[in-house]
């Protein structure tokens, strides 16, 4: 009960002037920053969990956000159901990004693998995909982080059936992290309750994974040859962490659910039941030092409900974007001033 946040009170604290982004989308569950300050967002992937979701959904899409406006990506070579959730973005060169997306399709999740040239605007092309069966996962996937063109880490957050649901509720560690290596899958972190957000450091040396039901973030050392994960430390964040944005190896932004039980209720009735939101900033001086935790953003649910991610964007990285599971996207000016 303590870790669920049932009795936790969230007081609204905004780092500057904040506004909801206008547009025909809902549920920007994951957001990632690119080199020029633009951000990519996945939307609509969790709407299938909402009763009568047709009433609330505004479609499932990927967005390219520039400042306070956006364009919907044209997704080439993508067919079938598309319910995007977690996403991973990696720059290979100025004219090439890899964008991997968890597709929570009803006939089995898979990782959709896209290539994007930022000079061409809101167009990206899928070049491959990997199914949960190929990855050896008998359940759902949540988030992905890119290593190379055919390599990634992915989190398995729940197993199928009543066993999976019971395990998540009672904290039974049946889930895992999988490393996909160009046709082969390896279980690299087993025995976790519900692995959620996952992110790798720019140099590939460290990896972080969030466990919301445990109120923890795990930091792993990545073996450069085998890509196996060795647990270095576990960070107690005293809230339910969701997606992780790596600013540097010594700075993380984490979207959180202060009251995860309230978030579950919010899923059942999005407009009537609101859920508090929170973004934490974790910093340290060196890799060996302990992490310091500060609250960058908090909201009682009125402005944004059920936050899932926080990233810094804008040309000077002075805009905080806060995404949510099934609600809206909010942007905040960190210096407190609206841009002109």
Phi then psi for residue 254, to 5 deg, are -135, 120
pTM above 0.75, yes or no: yes
- Give helix then strand counts, H and E, for the chain: 4, 25
Query: Bridge-partner residues for 233, per DSSP?
Result: 219
pLDDT one-digit tens code per residue, 227-272: 999 999 999 999 999 999 999 999 999 999 999 999 999 999 888 9
pLDDT of residue 20: 97
pLDDT at res. 164: 86
Taking Cα atoms as reference points, which of 26, 11, 10 lies closest to residue 330?
26
Q: What is the pLDDT of residue 283?
A: 98
pLDDT at 100 > cutoff 70: yes
* Alpha helices, DSSP H, located in 13-160: 53-56, 132-135
CB proximity list for 22: less than 8 A, separation 6 or greater: none
What token pair was written down for 239? 């809230």
Q: Beta-carbon neighbour count of residue 340 at 10 Å?
A: 3
Return the DSSP state at 46: T
The C-alpha atoms of residue 328 and residue 2 are separated, in whole angstroms, by: 27
Is the pLDDT assigned to residue 340 strictly greater than 50?
no
Indicate if the pLDDT at residue 320 is higher than 80.
Answer: yes
* b/e map 245-271, b = 16+ CB within 10 Å: bbbebbebbbbbbbbbebbeebbeebe
Instruction: Read off the pLDDT band of 11 (50, 70, 90).
Output: confident
Q: In whole angstroms, what is the distance from residue 237 CA to residue 280 CA?
A: 9
Question: How many whole angstroms separate alpha carbon 98 and alpha carbon 114?
Answer: 6
The mean per-residue pLDDT over the stretch 80-87 comes to 96
Please report the pLDDT score of residue 1 as a whole number. 53
Higher-pLDDT residue of 263, 163: 263
Give the per-residue pLDDT at 67. Answer: 96
């Amino acid at each position: 009960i303590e870790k669920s946040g049932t009795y936790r009170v969230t007081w609204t604290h905004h780092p500057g002037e904040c506004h909801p982004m206008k547009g025909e989308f809902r549920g920007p569950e994951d957001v990632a920053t690119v080199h020029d300050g633009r951000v990519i967002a996945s939307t609509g992937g969790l709407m299938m969990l909402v009763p009568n979701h047709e009433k609330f959904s505004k479609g499932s899409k990927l967005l390219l956000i520039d400042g306070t406006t956006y364009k919907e990506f044209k997704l080439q070579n993508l067919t079938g159901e598309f319910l995007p959730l977690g996403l991973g973005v990696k720059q290979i060169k100025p004219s090439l990004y890899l964008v991997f997306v968890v597709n929570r399709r009803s006939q089995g999740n898979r990782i959709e693998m896209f290539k994007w040239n930022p000079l061409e605007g809101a167009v990206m092309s899928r070049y491959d995909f990997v199914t949960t069966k190929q990855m050896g996962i008998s359940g759902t996937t949540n988030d992905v982080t890119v290593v190379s063109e055919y390599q990634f880490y992915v989190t398995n957050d729940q197993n199928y059936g009543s066993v999976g649901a019971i395990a998540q509720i009672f904290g039974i560690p049946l889930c895992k992290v999988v490393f996909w290596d160009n046709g082969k899958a390896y279980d690299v972190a087993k025995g976790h309750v519900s692995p959620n957000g996952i992110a790798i450091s720019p140099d590939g040396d460290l990896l972080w994974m969030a466990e919301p039901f445990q109120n923890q973030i795990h930091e792993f050392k990545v073996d450069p040859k085998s890509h196996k994960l060795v647990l270095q430390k576990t960070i107690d964040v005293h809230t339910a962490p969701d997606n992780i944005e790596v600013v540097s190896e010594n700075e993380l932004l984490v979207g959180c659910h202060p009251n995860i039980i309230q978030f579950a209720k919010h899923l059942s009735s999005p407009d009537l039941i609101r859920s508090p939101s929170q973004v934490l900033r974790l910093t340290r001086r060196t890799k060996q030092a302990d992490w310091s935790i500060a609250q960058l953003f908090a909201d009682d649910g009125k402005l944004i409900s059920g936050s899932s991610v926080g990233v810094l964007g804008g040309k000077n990285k002075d805009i905080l974007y806060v995404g949510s599971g099934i609600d809206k996207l909010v942007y905040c000016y960190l210096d407190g001033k609206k841009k002109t």
